[in-house]
């Protein structure tokens, strides 16, 4: 593996890439989902249920949710480091957000595979 010239401390670049790549993934899912809803004006429970019963739909939705969680984390971390100057409070809020996002992930997992 080629060693990066940027050294070990390039978390700024990593977060920046995560934010942009996850944004693209969110956009693709959003456009796809909008197209599906627009092309199914009489959308009922059965059609919706059968859509989400496919493994590919579960996996792409899970990827969408993961992208959303990572996107939210980078955004929230940026907001906290901008506006919360008290280190203890900032740390506490960051922990709360991480726990909340992980909980959302498992909740999404449970919903998707409960279908």
For another protein, the closer of residues 13 and 109 by Cβ is: 13
Q: Given the rule CB under 8 A, which of 31-39, 42-50, 75-83, 92-100 is the region that contacts another protein?
A: 75-83
Cα–Cα distances in angstroms (integers) from residue 57 to residues 8, 14, 49, in the given order:
37, 28, 11
- Outline where 1-115 has alpha helix (H): 11-39, 45-53, 55-83, 87-113
What gap in Å lies between CA 65 and CA 25, rounded to an integer? 10
> If binding is defined by CB under 8 A, does position 13 make contact with another protein?
yes
Smaller CB distance to another protein: residue 12 or 41?
12
List 81, 89, 99, 102, residue binding another protein (CB under 8 A) = 81
Supply the Cα-derived Rg of the chain in whole angstroms: 18
Which stretch in 33-41, 52-60, 81-89, 107-115 sits in contact with another protein by CB under 8 A?
A: 81-89
Cβ at position 81, least distance to another protein in Å:
7
């Amino acid at each position: 593996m080629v060693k990066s010239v940027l050294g070990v401390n390039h978390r700024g670049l990593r977060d920046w890439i995560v934010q942009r790549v996850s944004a693209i993934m969110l956009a693709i899912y959003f456009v796809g989902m909008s197209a599906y809803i627009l092309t199914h004006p009489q959308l009922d429970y059965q059609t919706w249920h059968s859509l989400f019963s496919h493994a590919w739909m579960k996996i792409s939705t899970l990827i969408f949710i993961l992208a959303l969680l990572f996107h939210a984390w980078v955004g929230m971390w940026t907001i906290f480091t901008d506006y919360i100057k008290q280190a203890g409070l900032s740390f506490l809020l960051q922990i709360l957000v991480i726990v909340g996002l992980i909980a959302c992930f498992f909740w999404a997992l449970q919903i998707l595979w409960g279908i």
